[in-house]
Structure 1
Amino acid sequence: MFVDIGGVLLTNGWDRYARKRAAVHFKLEPEFDALEDLHHLMFATYELDEFTLEEYLSRTVFHTERPFTREQFREFMFAQSQPYPEMIDLIVRLKARHQLKVAVVSNEARELNAYRIAKFQLNGFVDFFISSCFVHIRKPDAHMFRLALDVAQTPVERIVYIENTPMFVEIAEGLGIQSVLHMDYPSTRARLAAYGLGTDEGVAHETR
């Protein structure tokens, strides 16, 4: 099983909504549009691990003197990550029941990725992480999925991918990867059951 992190297992790490909350919290609303422009210039490269979180913050927020510290801002950033417990529990149960290998295929910046893995104990059930900060490729680059297939060493027809971004689902399906466009827990659970990946409670459409 391939699975995304942000929007599937956890909330997004640092999306527009989180940045807006930061602007309100740190009283940066008058600068928000300018800060967004700086963010979009920097963040894709940051997710490829081309520079550190400190460099990202220096160029986007702390390019001028602020009445708050870098540590306070970092702590706020990290605190935006919250789990989707039902989805985590679903993957854990499916892994145990079907003896699945679980791989994360996700665009994540290094420091946020490390925090999220440790905080929510993702490495307790994920076998390997194809994170953009580790492999220096970002979705929608199809090479990211090809790399995940190479690492998995599993026939493509035996892989299911859970992703909440339609474009990334289309790219994965173009490579022959069965994919579930994640909208919510009930529909994803039902789609997985249709692929033969039912939970131990039993699902009407489950097949093996």
Structure 2
Amino acid sequence: MQHSAKITTLFLDIGGVLLSNGWDRAARKEAARIFDLDIVELEERHHLTFDTYEEGKLTLDDYLTRIVFYEHREFTRNDFKEFMYSRTTPYPEMIDLICQLKEHYKLKIAIVNNEGRELNEYRIRTFGIDKFVDFFISSCFVHFRKPDADIWKMALDIALVRPEEVLYIEDRAMFIHVAEGLGINGLLHENYTKTLEKLKEWGLGLPPQ
């Protein structure tokens, strides 16, 4: 199905689209094994406080004090942070695709994501996301988290675009549905091949080499 809307702007999630999720459930399970932590307690403490960290109201050290370093450990904070940072891997095909689309179609590119500041900045800078993105509407910067609709409203204001001009690429269906409720076009990302095909429906095919 070919869409008639003229897309001028892409809104992108990072985790699950451009990079791996990083500090996710699998990473916490691995951390519990490596650092000999109680995974049940780690998960409970994480879920009680991670939203606050992602909203930019805690530092990474504050977050770690609440979930790990509330008692003496045989390892250091830096040991644990290095492990957290090491969990991120890039999706080079997706990064290259977005760079090509931006160049060929002269698109604005905005990140709309949930992430704590230190992890966010590490991931953005380490994998060169800042080299091609125009705006970062990250939860830690704007103090809203998806699925709060205000984060997409702010993204529209900052990018100075109308909802119908935007295609939002995201791997979580609920977030797509919230954005669509604001008139933003949604593309549910499953993998590179499927997203490439869906982009053609919006007139954003991969430019010829």
Unaligned 5+ segments in structure 2 are 1-9
RMSD of the alignment, in Å? 0.9
Aligned to 2:108, the other structure's residue is in SS state coil
Aligned to 1:102, the other structure's residue is in SS state strand
**Structure 1 outlier segments of 4+, above 3 Å:** none
Matched, 1:132 2:139: yes
Aligned runs of 1:69-108 on 2, under 5 Å?
69-108=76-115
Aligned residue in 1 for 2:192: 185
Aligned residue in 2 for 1:42: 49
**CA positional deviation for 1:163:** 0.3
In 2, the alpha carbon distance for the partners of 1:139 and 1:155 equals: 19
Select the residue among 57, 61, 68 that pairs with 1:54.
61
Q: Give the percent of matched residue pairs that are identical in Structure 1 and Structure 2.
A: 55
In 2, the alpha carbon distance for the partners of 1:35 and 1:156 equals: 39
Report the TM-score when normalising by structure 1: 0.94
Name which structure has the greater RCO, CA cutoff 8 Å, separation 6+.
2
Count of matched residue positions in the alignment of Structure 1 and Structure 2: 200
**CA positional deviation for 1:200:** 1.3
Select the residue among 18, 27, 36 that pairs with 2:36.
27
In 1, the alpha carbon distance for the partners of 2:179 and 2:198 equals: 16
In 2, the alpha carbon distance for the partners of 1:166 and 1:121 equals: 26
Report the TM-score when normalising by structure 2: 0.94
**CA positional deviation for 1:26:** 1.3
Select the residue among 118, 128, 134 that pairs with 2:125.
118
* Structure 1 letter corresponding to 2:183: G
Aligned to 2:36, the other structure's residue is in SS state coil
**CA positional deviation for 1:189:** 0.8
